[in-house]
Amino acid sequence: MNFEGKTVGFHTLGCKLNFSETSTIARLMLEKGFKKVDFGSPADVYVINTCSVTENADKECKQIVKSALQKNPEAFVAIVGCYAQLKPEQIAQIEGVDVVLGATEKFKLLNYINLSSKNESTQIQSCEINDADFFVDAYSVGDRTRSFLKVQDGCDYSCTFCTIPLARGKSRSDTIENVVENAKKIAASGVKEVVLTGVNIGDFGYGRDIDGDVKKKKNYTFLDLIKALDEVEGIERFRISSIEPNLLKDEIIEFVAQSKRFMPHFHIPLQSGNNELLKRMKRRYLRELYSDRVAKIKSLMPHCCIGVDVIVGFPGETEEQFLDTYNFINGLDVSYLHVFTYSERDNTEAIEMPNPVPVSERKRRNKMLRILSAKKLRAFYEQNIGKTSTVIFENEAKGDFMFGFTENYVKVKHAYNADLVNTAVKVTLNDFDEEGNVICKISEEIPA
């Protein structure tokens, strides 16, 4: 089919990994003649990349489809991503959806597009998740100042609250050679900062045998990967998106501490600061290991930014156990929290667990931790006031101001100047504005 001049709009829900995959699907479509337009504009095709972690995923998906079809009632609508793999029949009930593509088919979207007319019934192309045993590389460029580079997919862990293994399959990863090649392509596009993404990136270097049954160690590790990427010219910064505490080895921390290009910034899922809950979640560590990881990082990089994922309202979580988590995090030298309110997910162990926490109580606990996060972030920012750092400014303007991030992920604000976009600039962190943003001043001795 000839797609020359046809338009496509994309909407992505969820994680950095989804953004990398949406961008790759977009490149495949642009190569075949499509023109990318804003999702809020009329388009011939709309692609919605979904997330299984999103609250009320079905309701949200319906609203997005409805919004798209208001722009063009005859548009071809494709739903891909984790929710499409988990609940294809449910999505197929949404009026106006033409095709639902599961884990193995989303990168083959072009094979399913029909622009002659809307499908009379929704076409479903999902798969048995064990069939998703191959790796498809992906990275984002053109959408943001930074690029999300996919290095790993799937997960072999069996956390009792999580559907990701059901949506993305077993753990598998790219080769170091291909990741480095993709990083070079990103550098050639002019992007200065790359975020490594995956479902469980610390598991990089493991794969499946030809039958998909036996886990086999490849002859490289995540440490080998970041050492290779540290030599890629043209990329000024690499960040590690999220890494399990049990996989964040001393050698990785030590390497980042002396790296040329890896930033002093870690995001480490905790989920709970109570050991009994960690066991019931089937996490692969106890809180003592987590505090050891934080202490190791801070001993080598006192200025390092550390983000934390935490879940509140897990089934059976008592007030005492929640306060155990609160006090544990309060005593940690971390910088910010991503707080998730537990919600029931089909086909997980947790949904069968007794003593669910009332929704109102889940919300109260979430609010307490979000307030704690704001305090942690303010304290971290205050430690950086008066220091000189390098910032890469982003293109997006908010009013008359632009924003960027320092090496250790302090978000700073400056009067908008187009010449500063995607440029590494030396700045001094001066003070806070009334909204709590860090105001910076361009260093005079170092040109932009």
Higher pLDDT, 24 or 209: 24
Specify the pLDDT at position 212.
Answer: 46
Q: 118-145 pLDDT, tens per residue?
A: 888 899 987 777 777 788 899 998 766 7
Q: 402-413 pLDDT, tens per residue?
A: 999 999 999 999
186 to 32, 138, 142, 149, 395: CA distances (angstroms): 21, 11, 10, 9, 17
**CATH 2.40.50-classified regions of the chain:** 388-442
Q: 417-432 pLDDT, tens per residue?
A: 988 998 899 999 999 9
Specify the pLDDT at position 448.
Answer: 41
CATH (residue range 388-442): 2.40.50
**Per-residue confidence at 444, pLDDT binned at 50, 70, 90?**
low
Specify the pLDDT at position 446.
Answer: 44
Specify the pLDDT at position 271.
Answer: 98
CATH class of 265-384: alpha beta
**Per-residue confidence at 217, pLDDT binned at 50, 70, 90?**
low
Q: 332-370 pLDDT, tens per residue?
A: 999 999 999 999 999 999 999 999 999 999 999 999 999
Q: What is the DSSP letter of 125?
A: E
Q: 62-116 pLDDT, tens per residue?
A: 899 999 999 999 999 999 999 899 999 999 999 999 999 988 899 999 999 988 8
Fold of 132-263: Transcription Regulator spoIIAA (3.30.750)
Token pair listed for 442: 């361009």
**CATH 3.30.750.200-classified regions of the chain:** 265-384
Higher pLDDT, 57 or 269: 269
Specify the pLDDT at position 142.
Answer: 73
**CATH 3.40.50.12160-classified regions of the chain:** 7-127
Q: 271-299 pLDDT, tens per residue?
A: 999 999 999 999 999 999 999 999 999 99
The dihedral built from the CA positions of residue 415, 419, 422 and 428, taken in this order, carries a sign that is negative
Per-residue b or e along 259-288, where b marks 16 or more CB atoms closer than 10 Å to that residue's CB:
eebbbbbbbbbbbbbbbebbebbebebebe
* Placement of tokens 């007794």 in the chain: 354
Specify the pLDDT at position 206.
Answer: 66
Q: How far is CA 415 from the centre of its chain?
A: 29
Specify the pLDDT at position 54.
Answer: 64
Q: Tell the CATH superfamily of the 7-127 domain.
A: Methylthiotransferase, N-terminal domain (3.40.50.12160)
Q: What percent of the chain has pLDDT over 90?
A: 78
Specify the pLDDT at position 144.
Answer: 66
| Mean pLDDT rounded to a whole number for the chain | 91
Whether 45 and 80 have beta carbons less than 8 Å apart is answered as no
Q: 239-273 pLDDT, tens per residue?
A: 999 999 999 999 999 999 999 999 999 999 999 99
Using DSSP bridges, classify how beta strands 35-37 and 237-240 pair: parallel, antiparallel or unpaired.
unpaired
**Per-residue confidence at 207, pLDDT binned at 50, 70, 90?**
low
